[in-house]
Amino acid sequence: MKKVFFALTALLASSAWAQQNIDITAEQFNSGAANAELTTLGRQAAASGKRLVVTAPQHWHAQIAARIRAGGQAEIVMKDGFYETLLVRVEDKAAEPAKPEPVAAAAKPAPVAAPAPTPTPRPAPVAEPPAAIEPPPPAPVVEVPVAEPEPAPEVVAPPQPPPVQAAVPAVVEEAPAAAAEAPVVVDPKAPVMLVAVEPGDTDPVRESMEKRYNEGKRISERVQPGSLREGDVIYTAAGAAVIVRRENNRMIRMWLDGTLNLNQTGLSVEGGNKYLVVNRNLTR
């Protein structure tokens, strides 16, 4: 009875650990108070074959992975989070698909006996051709002398008329061909201008960007291009841009209101539509 009780207790504890979610605040993470807890999660996940799904700001990912791997080589899935918190969820790994059973090789057909060769008939005897008859010798050829033609009478040519001066054709000056247009050279330093405004309330661009960069919450603040700061992140879309700024321990989202040159040294291209402000002295 005691063995059954202990086995049931261990099973319930393992199931509860596999379904737990651990929340860690920014203060706990930055002070190191959560290091032991993260190391324990890594050791338990490696021993049980579980997977740890971590949601946290991107600049924390490397530190979190190092602290979890200090406990064991557990499988870790990192997700970006916009808030200064750390959420760890324990999940079961996806089961591998069953391998198909090998199909037995089809039986080889029995060999078919080759048909007996048909005897080749003998050719019929061919009659010999009759002896060739020699033709009679050709008749002798008599050569007939060819008569020489009589000399033709001398023909006196009539006097030639005076030469007629041919008309000199007018010289037509051809206009020089038009010069080919010079190829257009694309300047890699040419400005790429973004004209951004706050989308309307019913604009699908607003709904899409608020859902993607602010977890579906409304963005009400705006900022001019001249007020951008070093470290601001710019996410662009069709005629709009969202600015993500970190102040202390919170993230602020704002709409960009104005014209900005995206091809300048003050901006660093981080992705397809993501730019990082590396110099606050931006040109418009």
**What pTM does this model have?**
0.37
Q: How far apart are CA 71 and CA 54, in angstroms?
A: 16
H/E stretch holding 206 reads helix 204-213
Q: Are 254 and 218 in contact (CB under 8 A)?
A: no
pLDDT 10s digit of each residue in the chain, 284 long? 444 344 444 443 444 444 578 888 888 888 888 888 888 888 888 888 788 888 988 888 888 888 888 888 878 888 888 888 878 888 877 655 555 555 554 555 666 666 666 667 676 666 665 666 666 666 655 565 555 666 666 656 666 666 655 554 444 444 444 433 434 445 777 899 999 999 999 999 999 999 999 999 999 999 999 999 999 999 999 899 999 999 888 999 999 999 999 999 889 999 889 999 998 777 76
Q: Are 68 and 40 in contact (CB under 8 A)?
A: no
Own/partner contacts of 201-208, CB < 8 Å, gap of 24 or more, are 205/237, 205/238, 205/239, 205/240, 206/240, 208/237
Q: Which of 180, 190, 191, 272 is nearest to 225 (CA)?
A: 191
Q: How far apart are CA 244 and CA 58, in angstroms?
A: 13
* End-to-end Cα distance, the chain: 79
- Give the 3-state secondary structure of residue 23: strand
